[in-house]
Amino acid sequence: MQPNSEWVVGTEAWAAFVRQHPELGYRPGRWPFHNFLRLHRDHLLQHDAIRFAKRRFWVAHLQRFCVIAFDCATGVIGPAWSSEDVDESAGARDVRGPASAIVPSLMPQRAEVAK
């Protein structure tokens, strides 16, 4: 008999997350999980929601994974942007992140400097 553990294989945690949040439009499966990790792996690791096991596969804490993944998917926690993602040469600040591409009002505005 297997002990009841809150840690499961990453794709199982992903499938549970997808079932809990159909409004987000994600699909279950290995490749959607892989693509999600490409953007949000650092945040999931930072919050101890996932761990790399035996240098082969991801395991996830079922409860933490669903909470942190939801925050990542809804923009509360975003992918880490490098300084290359910010272009101030045109006079207006251009942030090329996913939230600013979807909702223009989320783009940070440059403060007007009084002369």
Please indicate, yes or no, if residue 114 is contained in any of the structural domains.
no
- Structural domains counted in the chain: 1
Span 7-45, pLDDT tens digits: 999 999 999 999 999 999 999 999 999 999 999 999 999
Cα separation, 51 vs 11, whole angstroms:
12
Please indicate, yes or no, if residue 113 is contained in any of the structural domains.
no
Residue 106's Cα: distance from chain center in Å?
17
Instruction: Taking residues 40-51, report their average pLDDT.
Output: 95
Which pTM was predicted?
Answer: 0.65
What is residue 55's predicted lDDT score, i.e. its pLDDT? 80
Higher pLDDT, 111 or 32: 32
Please indicate, yes or no, if residue 111 is contained in any of the structural domains.
no
For the chain, counts of helices (H) and of strands (E): 4, 5
Cα 102 to Cα 29, 56, 106, distances in angstroms: 25, 35, 9
Please indicate, yes or no, if residue 55 is contained in any of the structural domains.
yes
Please indicate, yes or no, if residue 66 is contained in any of the structural domains.
yes
Note down the domain range covering 23: 1-106
